[in-house]
Amino acid sequence: MKSLGLLGYPLGHTLSPRLHQLLAAEISGENSLEISYDLFEITPEEFEQKKQTLFSLDGFNVTIPYKVRILDELDEIDQTAKNHGAVNTVAVRADGRRIGYNTDCVGFVRTMQQNSVELAGRVCVLGAGGVGRMFATECALRGCEVVIAVRQKSLAAASQVAEHIRTLCPNTVVQVQDIADISGAFDLVINATPCGMFPKVDESPVPKEFLQNVKTVFDCIYNPKETLLMRDAREMGCKTVGGLEMLVWQAAAAQQIWFGVQFTEEQIDRVTAALQN
């Protein structure tokens, strides 16, 4: 039995326990395994007192507000975590070493590949939080021109993300704009904000008219399956991709790190379909 978990606060109605059990059930043959997957809903004030419990596990996932804070507790981080300045997966090795990874970026790239969306050209990332930083950085690493669009109050944070990208990718064109002023043609628009997430399903981060010169819209929200942004985009003739596949792919990447297993696109499709039931 492998012991796993999710660290975060608050955790709400997370899909992670069911998701990881479904993925583990896809592993067969001599690599088959049983897992336990528990939730560690720890307040920031309790973290120092309770953190050792996490390191008795075989591995764990990390979500808000610990993706950056966990860095101080690790012995090593891989290049994905260095690129994005955040960790969402920790492996605890047999010798006790604690190694951090970022599998969100793997989930993003695999989702784009599976939906035949090329990461190229001009990309607009809506939002500059942790996942927005990852999207913007990953697109820049792949040669895209990146526009980070945020509300007025977040312009300073977005500028910090832009500086990080310019340091990592000196030849990349990256701009920061107020989301209220965003315009122009884009090959890809990525929603990295919570706007449109259940229960506020009647909200969209941009007006429908903005989407008339956009080829593809990717919304990392997975509840609801189709957000208002995606519906508007579809009606404007854009290709649309939702966030559930990214959730599954990043979890599959975590199990690959923990157990050395590989998942096929067919297995990911089965798990994604099961989560929708």
> CA dist 42 to 16, 66, 184, 266, Å?
16, 10, 43, 35
* CB proximity list for 79: less than 8 A, separation 6 or greater: none
Catalytic residue among 50, 51, 67, 225: 67
Which amino acid would we find at residue 7? Answer: L
Q: Provide the CB-side half-sphere exposure for 11 (13 A, CA).
A: 16
Cβ neighbourhood burial of 52 (10 Å; 0-12, 13-18, 19+):
exposed
Q: Is the dihedral of CA 78, 218, 268, 54 positive or negative?
A: positive
- Helix/strand/coil (H, E, C) string of 197-250? CCCCCCCCCCCHHHHHHEEEEEECCCCCCCCHHHHHHHHCCCEEECCHHHHHHH
Q: Which of 98, 92, 10 is nearest to 58 (CA)?
A: 92
> Does 2 participate in catalysis according to the annotation?
no
Percent helix, strand and coil across the chain, each rounded to 5?
40, 20, 35
- Judge contact between 249 and 266, C-beta under 8 A: no
Active-site residues: which are they?
Answer: 67
